[in-house]
Amino acid sequence: MSSVKNVIKDNYNMMLLKDYLREAIKDAGFSHAEISKTPTGTRVALHVTRPGIVIGRKGSGIRELTEKLAIDFGLKNPQISVNEIEKPELSPSVMCNRMASHLERGTAFRRATMWTLKQIMEGGAMGVQITISGKLRGDRSAFEKHTAGVLPRAGHHAEVIVSEDIAHVTTAMGSIGIRIRIAIKDRFVPEFELKKKTGKEIPKQIKVEEIQIDDVKVEVVKVEGKKDTAKSESERIALEAKKMEALETLEEEEAKLK
């Protein structure tokens, strides 16, 4: 029974840790964290859209985060590595956080949903499903599902190529839950496929840097060649909010037809 309790306790601590990271480095576009124990300590791999925000000026962000993980969460000698996400639009965690930020700013839930669907499909997804539930309009709770593309619902392909995440946001109307499921083409392996050569593929340019901060070495993995004018997730949300004003929802299209 003690071993079962230890497993439950470890899982609960990991859940608290990931909830803390989601909020602490939200502006860096936090996606997920991979935690593994090594003989010399605990390795924590953070996957974010903007590694510079996590590192901070002269390594102040990494230093504070390392102390927090060691003192509050009891991780032995935490060794943090920061990995940049190549395609944020294909990460359910990143897109859930972005959509939640739009709802916090007061954007209509359908407009935010349509915009998120568009961004994910333009990012190269095979299919996407967004479920939004809670106090959407009035006192009664409701839910809506919006789907685009091809999204396997069951079977082996659904387990392999579909990833999902859930986020919650509190608005003036009440609590709202967001669930995003994304099917990624790169993970799809058909039994028979006709390959056509359309040209030379451009190899990914991955740059690995090691930064020495006091007595701690931080490994930073960056994807070169990415173009993103926003310096943080908050700035990106503000830019998207302006572009979203030109997006027509189904209700506006119906009003024009009447």
**Distance in angstroms (rounded) separating the CA atoms of residues 120 and 181:** 10
Q: CATH code at 102?
A: 3.30.1140.32
Domain shared by 72 and 93, yes or no = no
Whole-structure pTM value: 0.76
Domain shared by 189 and 219, yes or no = no
- What is the number of structural domains in the chain? 2
Q: Which domain range does residue 23 map to?
A: 2-86+206-227
Q: CATH code at 37?
A: 3.30.300.20
Residue at 234 is within a domain: no
pLDDT in tens, 11-68: 788 888 888 888 888 888 888 888 888 888 888 888 988 888 888 887 788 888 888 8
pLDDT in tens, 199-249: 555 455 566 655 655 555 666 666 666 666 677 778 788 888 877 777 766
CB 115 within 8 A of CB 145: no
Beta strands 78-84; 216-223: pairing state: parallel
Domain shared by 168 and 180, yes or no = yes
Residue at 248 is within a domain: no
Residue at 139 is within a domain: yes
Residue at 235 is within a domain: no
Helices 109-122, 250-257: inter-axial angle, 10-degree rounding: 110
